[in-house]
Structure formats: structure tokens, C-alpha cells
Amino acid sequence: MDDVETADGWYTAVVDRIEAGEERGAELAVLVLEREGDAVGELVAPLAELPSLGRMADSVLCVRLEAGELAAATLDTQETASRRERARSRFERLSRRLPERAGRESDDDSNADE
């Protein structure tokens, strides 16, 4: 992702993280902007400008930029749920592989003594 100015228009945005703002109590959302599944930029916006249910990491939003600023944002509940399910499924698959791999490594260690 380059640090280039992102053109005005509609994007899919994923809340990457929430950060403390310079003003006391102000929180900022760092959004990764996507087009056709590819990350094309980042946007930092006040958390309060996001829909209340989209104010957490990994929420997927439809956003519109005007003059490089957030002009509109709506939560894409279906895409958010879909991505969370894919991440959960991937985590489960990986966690099932760990015990198998650990067992093979300990077998390799015991064979090294022979």
C-alpha cells in the first residue's frame, strides 16, 4: 500500500485498529481502504464518525470519500460476519495442526539421540 492520496468515491474499508487521538478522549479509527479486494490506501478518521456497531477492529464498512475525508460510512454486516467466520475457521484449522506438528517434532527429537 502506497501513501498516495486516495481518490474520492466509494470503497470497502476494514477497521484495522483504534488509536488514541491527540485530544483527550478522542479516538481515531485506522481504516484500510479496498477496491476489488485489494488494499489501496489507509484513512484515519474520528471513531465517532463510524456507525456505532462498526467501531471495532475487523468491522467491514462501505465508505465514501470526499476531498480525501470520510463523507459517509455504513456497516456491511454480511461481509463483516463472513470475514469473521473465515478467520475463525482458519484459526481452528491452524490450531488443529499444531498438536500434530508438535508430536512429529518431539518424535524427531527422540530419534536424534539414537
* Domain range 1-75, its CATH number among 1.10.8, 2.40.50, 2.30.30, 3.40.50: 2.40.50
pLDDT tens-digit series, residues 43-96: 999 999 999 999 999 999 999 999 999 999 999 999 999 998 988 898 888 888
Residue 103: which pLDDT band, with cuts at 50, 70 and 90? low
**In a 3-state reduction of DSSP, which class is residue 31?**
strand
Reported as a pLDDT band with limits 50, 70 and 90, residue 22 is confident
Q: How confident is the model at residue 112 (pLDDT cuts 50, 70, 90)?
A: low
State the distance between the two ends of the chain, measured CA to CA, in whole angstroms: 51
User: When comparing pLDDT for 75 and 111, which is higher?
Assistant: 75
